[in-house]
Amino acid sequence: MAHSYIVHYGELGLKGRNRITFERILVSNIQRALEDLGRVEVRRSYSRILVAAPDEIAADTLEGRLRRLPGIAYFAPVTTTKLTMDAISETAIALARDVITPDTRFRVTTSRGNKQFPLTSPEISRKVGARVVAATGAAVDLHTPEITLTVQIYDEEAHLFLRRIPGLGGLPYGSSGRVLVLFSGGIDSPVAAHLMMKRGCAVDFIHFHLLRGQERIRSSKIVAMAHALLEPHRAPGRLTMISAAPFESAMAALDSRVATVVFRRFIMRVAEVIAERRKIPALVTGESVGQVASQTLKNIHVIAQTTTLPILRPLIGMDKAEIIEVAQAIGTFELSVQPYQDPCSLHARRPSIWSHIEDVIEVEEKIDVNALLRETLANYVEEIRITF
Ligand code: ATP
Ligand code: MG
């Protein structure tokens, strides 16, 4: 025996070839996300995807995985039957027996993708409803039902289900291309990464640290956070760990009010080089207007001038409380609040909220930022592969 789910994707406006690409990506994402559980069959059929799993795989486990995959509008444990009114009604009664008692208010709703089927959707609902009433003694309630029995008529079969589980929405991981996330140990950038993944972007991570030695780098919470973000997709990932030590030593002698802005411009430059090498067309940050001194509009402007790549800032209009809520929901919050030593330049004393580009450039000339960029890229980069 097996249990089956029907998976529906939303996002209207997907047409023609785009739709096929989107469906194929979603099918392979579902396969990859469930692969370790056992022999799950995932197949595409017109405007839906069917997932069939052996009974050994618990419904809770399977549903938990599907809930976290972007690109799914909703999914439902489904019973499939032949395209005759008798078969459909028998199946409806069998499903109803488990949950519908004489006191249950229920309704039947039908959607008909197959226009050749001889009855209209309301006719099907009425006939099936009448058979369920006769079998269970329950009352139909079209407006405030406790249970809705859904019938979906397709070309080759009908699907029936009682429970519709909301999906995450968004677009399948990888269907929108790849972005490079500037990933800190804080609360915001993991949420920014999650929101981009939800919009279908595959992500590479880049992090600037002050850790010494391979062992500290590999066991750092940054690796754990990247792993946690990719976990729902079970997608292999790439985290680039870059030492900020050369930059920090160069800055150490200067007590600059624009240190944070200079640091952020430096990491943008490094990120741009890495993105261009990998043909990644956009950078992502966890910035939100006014949250800290480096995130005033003025400073955002000065920082952005270092690159021609688009800088995507999915949190730009969100409040900290809203960001924290998402961080908790996706499971990164606990890791974010663990103590971690950020590069010191992030904590300039009395940081300027209105940096002048002339002052910033003066500091950059003093530290010879171009030489630092070359030195950092040549000798201070460590690649970490995230696998499942
Ligand atoms: P977060 O919670 O993401 O750390 P924050 O509120 O601490 O954000 P900043 O420290 O000003 O804000 O950083 C703004 C953004 O710059 C971060 O969201 C991240 O995208 C990027 N960033 C900051 N520090 C680093 C770092 N060490 N490595 C890579 N990116 C960083
Ligand atoms: Mg931070």
- pLDDT at residue 2, rounded to an integer: 79
Side chain identity at residue 20, one-letter code: I
pLDDT (tens digit per residue) in 320-348: 999 999 999 999 999 999 999 888 767 77
The mean pLDDT of the chain is 94
11: CA distance to ligand 1 center in Å?
A: 31
136: CA distance to ligand 2 center in Å?
A: 59
Report residues whose beta carbon is within 6 angstroms of any ligand 1 atom: 182-184, 186-189, 207-208, 267, 285-287, 291-292, 294-295, 342-343, 346
Is residue 116 pLDDT above 70, yes or no? yes
Mutating to test ligand 1, I would choose from 184, 223, 291, 342 the residue with most ligand atoms within 8 A of its C-beta, which is 184
Fold of 83-156: THUMP fold (3.30.2300)
| The CATH number of domain 3-80 is 3.30.70.1510 | yes
pLDDT (tens digit per residue) in 370-388: 999 999 999 999 999 999 9
Separation CA 54–CA 37 (nearest Å): 10
Question: Which helix (H) or strand (E) is 167 found in, with range?
Answer: strand 165-169
Is residue 12 pLDDT above 70, yes or no? no
Residue intervals of the chain classified under CATH 3.30.70.1510 are 3-80
Identify the CATH class of 178-386: alpha beta
Residue intervals of the chain classified under CATH 3.40.50.620 are 178-386
- How far is residue 67 from each of residues 13, 72, 76, 174, 218, measured CA to CA in Å? 23, 8, 11, 17, 30
- pLDDT at residue 98, rounded to an integer: 87
Question: Which helix (H) or strand (E) is 45 found in, with range?
Answer: strand 41-45
Q: What angle do CA 355, 367, 277 make, to 5 degrees?
A: 90
CA-based max dimension of the chain? 86
Mutating to test ligand 1, I would choose from 182, 294, 380 the residue with most ligand atoms within 8 A of its C-beta, which is 182
Lowest mean pLDDT among 204-208, 234-238, 340-344: 340-344
Q: Is the pTM of this model over 0.85?
A: yes
Q: What angle do CA 133, 139, 141 make, to 5 degrees?
A: 120
pLDDT (tens digit per residue) in 137-172: 999 999 999 999 999 999 999 999 999 999 999 999
Q: What angle do CA 336, 214, 36 make, to 5 degrees?
A: 65
Is residue 173 pLDDT above 90, yes or no? yes
Helices (H), 278-368: 297-304, 320-330, 333-336, 357-367
First to last CA, the chain: 28
- Band of the pLDDT at 351, cuts 50, 70, 90? confident
- Band of the pLDDT at 125, cuts 50, 70, 90? very high
Query: Average of pLDDT values for 42-62?
Result: 92
Query: Average of pLDDT values for 232-249?
Result: 97
Closest CA to 356 of 300, 304, 299, 311: 299
- pLDDT at residue 291, rounded to an integer: 78
Residue intervals of the chain classified under CATH 3.30.2300.10 are 83-156
Evaluate whether 104 touches 178 at the Cβ level (below 8 Å): no
